């Protein structure tokens, strides 16, 4: 299990491809990735909203940050299951709650999978960072098995010790359990930011105010998005005081690994269960004979320090 990249100031930024379904928290992952990684490209997948919406939202975020990063559109549905979305959390657009500009144009291509394969063959050592259903990543690994030894690893948001879309399964893995199974069994470095971690990282009111206090248009837009996102979370949960800001964790796992506590574990994905499909089965047995670990399971985060990283990244682009 290779450790996450060094974050020493002299080290070059980690090259990543962010595969996402914006999505309020995906949008923040884009900001952090733009600030702290070499963001080779953004690929989009159906998830929080239909593919057309997640792609539109990714382009809007790219534009707001004034990046040259290409956005490639990918799978409009899971490998074998129908497309299902999360308008009840993110709104019909996938990023409700703010006055967003029109996208500057179409995606660079509609072949995210082919672009991922070509890019990772041309340049080894890229981290794949999926923060939505893992359909694109699974399709790339299945079409090009050599990618498993060419990429640096996969740092994903998904899974965990409890579910959100069902009692057993987290939304990204619930959408496409078969894709998640391909990813979790691909054999290379794997970092999991699951719900047991990301629910420790909430957009609390005072944290949103830190963003709203920043100058510039981007901070105003993102604080409006945080307000909407948190309102849906607090209206649906008994004991949550702000939206769980899931997706930036998968990026910070690479850029700021010291924020986290972690355990190596063997993690498998349930794909057959009528009630448990998409569940991450994390082997926590205290036995000498358990399957070898395949996953770096992030278990804790310094939430205040992590939030400061988000605020500083937003400040960098908010003018």
Three-state DSSP state, 36: helix
CA dihedral 238, 220, 46, 89 (to 10 degrees): 20
Task: Identify what 202 binds: Ca ion, ligand RIB, none; CB under 5 to 8 Å per kind.
Answer: none
Site for ligand RIB in 11-30 (CB under 6 A): 21, 23, 25-26
Q: 188 vs 278, which CB is nearer to ligand RIB? A: 278
| β-bridge pairing 14-20 and 153-157 | unpaired
Site for ligand RIB in 244-303 (CB under 6 A): 246-247
CB of 209 to Ca ion, least distance (A): 24
Q: Select which of 24, 72, 199, 246 is catalytic.
A: 246
CA distance 249 to 272: 28
In this chain, which of 115, 127, 171, 201 binds ligand RIB, going by CB under 6 A? 171
Confirm whether 246 is a catalytic residue: yes
Three-state DSSP state, 18: strand
Q: How many CB atoms lie within 10 A of CB 13?
A: 15
Among candidate residues 254, 141, 156, the one with its CA nearest the CA of residue 187? 141
CB of 158 to Ca ion, least distance (A): 9
CB contact at 8 A, 317 and 222: no
164 counts as binding ligand RIB under rule CB under 6 A: yes
Task: Identify what 171 binds: ligand RIB, Ca ion, none; CB under 5 to 8 Å per kind.
Answer: ligand RIB
CA distance 146 to 172: 25
Task: Identify what 164 binds: Ca ion, ligand RIB, none; CB under 5 to 8 Å per kind.
Answer: ligand RIB
DSSP state of 158: -
CA distance 235 to 94: 18
172 counts as binding ligand RIB under rule CB under 6 A: yes
Q: 21 vs 196, which CB is nearer to ligand RIB? A: 21
Binding residues (CB under 5 A) for Ca ion: these are 21, 23, 26, 131-132, 247
CB contact at 8 A, 150 and 157: no
In this chain, which of 37, 43, 44, 48 binds ligand RIB, going by CB under 6 A? 48
Task: Identify what 19 binds: Ca ion, ligand RIB, none; CB under 5 to 8 Å per kind.
Answer: none
Task: Identify what 294 binds: ligand RIB, Ca ion, none; CB under 5 to 8 Å per kind.
Answer: none
Among candidate residues 33, 198, 11, 247, the one with its CA nearest the CA of residue 127? 33
Which uninterrupted H or E stretch holds 37? strand 37-44
150-169: string of b/e by CB count within 10 Å (b at 16+)? Answer: bbbbbbbbbbbebbbbbebb
Which tokens belong to 199? 């629910």
CB of 154 to ligand RIB, least distance (A): 14
176 counts as binding ligand RIB under rule CB under 6 A: no
In this chain, which of 5, 50, 94, 132 binds ligand RIB, going by CB under 6 A? 132
How large is the angle between the packed helices 24-36 and 51-64, nearest 10 degrees? 40
CB of 135 to ligand RIB, least distance (A): 12
Q: 229 vs 307, which CB is nearer to ligand RIB? A: 229
91 counts as binding ligand RIB under rule CB under 6 A: no
Which of the residues are catalytic?
246
Name the site residues for ligand RIB (rule: CB under 6 A).
21, 23, 25-26, 47-48, 131-132, 157, 164, 170-172, 246-247
């Amino acid at each position: 299990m290779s450790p996450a990249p060094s974050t020493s100031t002299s080290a070059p930024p980690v090259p990543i491809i962010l595969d996402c379904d914006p999505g309020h928290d995906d949008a923040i992952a884009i900001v952090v990735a733009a600030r702290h990684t070499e963001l080779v490209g953004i690929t989009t997948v159906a998830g929080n909203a239909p593919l057309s919406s997640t792609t539109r939202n990714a382009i809007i975020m790219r534009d707001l940050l004034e990046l040259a990063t290409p956005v490639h559109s990918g799978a409009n549905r899971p490998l074998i299951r129908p497309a299902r979305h999360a308008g009840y959390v993110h709104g019909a657009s996938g990023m409700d709650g703010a006055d967003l500009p029109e996208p500057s144009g179409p995606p660079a291509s509609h072949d995210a999978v082919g672009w991922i394969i070509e890019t990772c063959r041309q340049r080894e050592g890229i981290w794949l960072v999926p923060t939505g259903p893992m359909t694109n990543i699974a399709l790339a690994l299945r079409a090009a098995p050599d990618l498993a030894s060419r990429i640096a690893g996969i740092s994903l948001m998904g899974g965990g010790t409890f579910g959100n879309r069902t009692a057993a399964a987290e939304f990204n893995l619930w959408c496409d359990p078969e894709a998640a199974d391909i990813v979790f069994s691909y054999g290379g470095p794997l970092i999991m930011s699951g719900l047991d971690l990301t629910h420790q990282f909430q957009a609390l009111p005072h944290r949103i105010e830190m963003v709203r206090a920043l100058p510039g248009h981007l901070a105003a837009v993102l604080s409006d998005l945080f307000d909407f996102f948190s309102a849906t979370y607090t209206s649906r949960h008994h004991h949550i005081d702000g939206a769980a800001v899931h997706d930036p964790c998968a990026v910070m796992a690479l850029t700021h690994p010291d924020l986290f506590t972690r355990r190596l574990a063997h993690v498998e994905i349930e794909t057959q269960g009528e009630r448990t499909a998409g569940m991450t089965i994390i082997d926590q047995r205290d036995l000498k004979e358990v399957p070898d670990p395949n996953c770096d399971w992030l278990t804790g985060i310094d939430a205040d320090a992590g939030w400061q990283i988000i605020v500083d990244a937003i400040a960098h682009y908010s003018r």
